[in-house]
Structure 1
């Protein structure tokens, strides 16, 4: 599937996921930028990235000090090509994986570690 279609679907899924959250968490999430990207396009510029990542949280978490530089600004990256590949071309599974991956990375922004995120069923 082409990236514009994957982007359209993922954007709706993330918007719906945000709307389903309690208002206080939704308000916290508003300070974290969400980017929909293709891993293939980043591999040439960032050799340290794991090529199989589905999502990534970067920058300062909500519980960290306020960002002092652009690279500390919080952002969630969702790798749509990897998510699509992970789903084997199944659109329903893709939607589910986008939602779970987004909420997983949002958990990191909110200060949860891997074990805490997994305990919420977001692993």
Structure 2
């Protein structure tokens, strides 16, 4: 997890704490919305991913009333101070990192199998 957080902080130019929360939120979203076999494999390959997901999956609130999904994730990420360009860069870096961990084929299955995600690939 530290490797990914450091990479995001440098390449996207965001604070490490924000990068960690962002990764937790995105992985939590993928766990809920994506193909479970590939997402589980990705999460298992990132030390600290479970803790990051757990620390960001709280209370539901307005996003859960809106049905969650990609729009709710975007709202949460913007709530951390990320702009649309930042979110796209984070997603691309996360996908690139994922390819090194579980392979390009499985990462592409996650992207294709998660509603709305292909626009960030």
TM-score (normalizing by structure 1): 0.37
Q: Greater share of helix residues, 1 or 2?
A: 2
Q: Greater share of strand residues, 1 or 2?
A: 1
Decide which structure has the larger Cα Rg and report it: 1
